[in-house]
Amino acid sequence: MSFVTAIRRMENADLDRVLEIEEESFVTPWTRRDWLYELTENPINVIFVLDVIENGIKEIAGFIDFMVTFSSSTISQIAIAKKYRKQHLGTELLNKMIEHLKNEYNEIVETITLEVRTHNQAAIAFYEKHGFEGVLIKPAYYSNGEDALYMVRRLI
């Protein structure tokens, strides 16, 4: 595919497309209400969406939602629509998050953390490629009883 990309803050008008990507990406997808909370009420998070623009047509291909608490930032969700995966768009979103943290919280945020399902080999490979290390297992972390791998990457 030949397209250009642009990353921007998520807006209310993006909700339907974000929910489509959410539903094809996660075992227990967040609901519209969950997303509305993230978008309009959560005081400590940031959500970026990545647009692909091809022949003048724009479509959201993915998103990243993260929060900042003191010296740490946590990725709440990152997803790329299936048809756009493995084209480094997830990498673009992660790099945008890192750029934002360095610009807005220079030398305050020291680490990025996340939890990922232990069966989610694609996501674990993605995070390892980007310098995250699995540091511990959180047993039965998810509502279906699945374990989480807690991963950490130093930012500074």
Ligand X SMILES: CC(C)(COP(=O)(O)OP(=O)(O)OC[C@H]1O[C@@H](n2cnc3c(N)ncnc32)[C@H](O)[C@@H]1OP(=O)(O)O)[C@@H](O)C(=O)NCCC(=O)NCCS
For the bound state, the minimum distance from the C-beta of residue 107 to ligand X, rounded and expressed in Å, comes to 27
User: By C-alpha distance, which of 106, 104, 117 is closest to 149?
Assistant: 117
Q: Distance of alpha carbon 78 from its chain centroid, rounded?
A: 2
Name the one range near ligand X by CB under 6 A: 34-42, 95-103, 113-121, 139-147: 113-121
- Among the listed residues 113, 120, 147, 150, the single contact to ligand X using CB under 6 A: 120
Q: Does 97 bind ligand X (CB under 6 A)?
A: no
One of 52, 89, 101, 112 touching ligand X (CB under 6 A): 89
Residue with tokens 């919280």: 105
Instruction: Indicate the residue among 106 and 121 with the shorter CB distance to ligand X.
Output: 121
Q: Per CB under 6 A, which of residues 60..79 are in contact with ligand X?
A: 78-79
Sheet holding 72-80, edge to edge: 4-9, 45-54, 57-69, 72-80, 111-117, 148-154, 133-138
Of 88, 119, 138, 154, the one binding ligand X (CB under 6 A) is 88
Beta carbons of 48 and 67 less than 8 angstroms apart: no
- According to the binding rule CB under 6 A, does residue 86 interact with ligand X? yes
Residue count of the chain: 156
27 binds ligand X (CB under 6 A): no
Which residues lie across from 23 on neighbouring strands? none
Task: Based on the shown chain and the rule CB under 6 A, indicate whether residue 137 belongs to the binding site for ligand X.
Answer: no
Let me know: does 21 contact 79? Beta carbons within 8 Å: yes
Task: For residue 95, give the amino acid letter.
Answer: N
Q: Write out the residues near ligand X by the rule CB under 6 A.
A: 25, 78-80, 85-91, 114, 116, 120, 122-123, 125-126, 129
